[in-house]
Amino acid sequence: MARAFLVVMDSVGCGGAQDADKFFNGDVPDTGANTLAHIAQACADGKAEEGRSGPLHMPNLAGLGLGAAVKLASGDEAPGLMAKPVGLWGAASEVSMGKDTPSGHWELAGVPVPWDWTYFPDTKPTFPDDLTQAAARAAGTDGILGNCHASGTAIIEELGEEHMRTGWPICYTSADSVFQIAAHEETFGLQRLYDMCEELAPVLHGMNVGRVIARPFIGTKEQGFTRTTNRHDYAMEPPSPTLCDWVHDAGRHVYAIGKIGDIFSRRGIDEVRKGADKDLMGHLLDLADQAVDGSLTFANFVEFDSLFGHRRDVSGYARALEWFDSCLPEFFAKLGKDDMVIFTADHGNDPTWVGGDHTRERVPVIGYGLGEKEIGLRGFVDVGASVAAHLGVPPAQGTGKSFL
């Protein structure tokens, strides 16, 4: 029986979103943002030479049609990626009015977001008093630290020592609809951090804030602070059944790699595997061997976004793309003749752009195991419908059209 692998390369957009002018980084609209094209152009121009060199080298995804997808989506060339396609290729546009993780993933899984998310103002203090008080009560402290928009790595460097001294949690947000809590795994306690997030999640979800995120870290001021892989997202549940539910309810097995389990509140998911991206690639390779017939493996590789996109690190992003692509021959060699893989993304995060927020972009849709086929410009929801069609599982009515 056929298996399906849906692999989200977090933030690997390809430009061209027709509504990019409605989304901003600070005061600058996202018009013209193009994560893949701009990285490829920087590499070709010798402007991404830290830890790598030369044109962007992704022969496996480029051979399937990645460069062609960039050109289709945006009209931009992606130097080094413009091979003649031998796989399924196209691009997809999002209709949800957010450029965030839940919106992108839910819509890829067949469910556009039907409401507007709540975003916190970029002021200090950022959070309303009643939320600040609720956070302190949940932590069992007299107050919180942070209460601002911040980079997660920067704020633990700034406030980590004070956090360890006072015991107050570090609460912050970003341009996403999110409430993030950073705390030291040893001095504050990992389970205490999880309990705090779990208590606050219904409050935030009631405000239409999409996620509460536990951001544990370790270290000292002298040695430096480092975030661990024990992050946990407490996300709102999708408003209706998603691809995960369709497959699970049909009696099939659903594997979640990375933060997929958190994004979908573990609904419709049988097994979760987590870790850093290198660990996640190991899980993906293992499941290429081990996943049962008729199953869905849904994976998210987050470090393109979290380590390099938000930090506007072009060289780092290029290194991550090249590493990911270099792992694919081993993955492909493990697949059966009836297996299908779709590589896509949930939004953009152009590291050449202003600010540090996601960028509104179309995303590539690249298929392996489906022959050579151009699918044109599609909707995010068509991805979920196509995976369901490959597995012989009926999608919910009105949730996209298969491109297979």
Asked if 253 contacts 244 with a C-beta cutoff of 8 angstroms, the reply is no
User: What's the CA gap between 178 and 231, in Å, rounded?
Assistant: 14
Q: Where are the alpha helices (DSSP H) in 6-98?
A: 35-44, 59-64, 66-74
CA distances, 328 to each of 71, 335, 344, 392 (Å): 23, 11, 14, 26
φ and ψ of 354, to 5 deg: -75, 165
Residue 10 assigned to a binding site: yes
User: What's the CA gap between 336 and 379, in Å, rounded?
Assistant: 28
Residue 181 belongs to what H/E stretch?
Answer: strand 178-184
- Nearest residue to 243 (alpha-carbon basis) of 27, 89, 396: 396
- Nearest residue to 395 (alpha-carbon basis) of 240, 260, 254, 238: 240
**DSSP β-bridge partners for residue 271:** 255
The label of the residue with tokens 């060699």 reads: 333
Asked if 295 contacts 1 with a C-beta cutoff of 8 angstroms, the reply is no
Write b or e for each residue in 235-265: b if 16 or more Cβ atoms lie within 10 A of its Cβ, otherwise e. bbebeebbbbbbbbeeebbbbbbbbbbbbbb
Question: Three-state SS for 292?
Answer: coil
Residue 305 assigned to a binding site: yes
List, as residue ranges, the binding site. Answer: 10, 305, 310, 346-347, 358
Known binding-site positions for Mn(2+)? 10, 305, 310, 346-347, 358
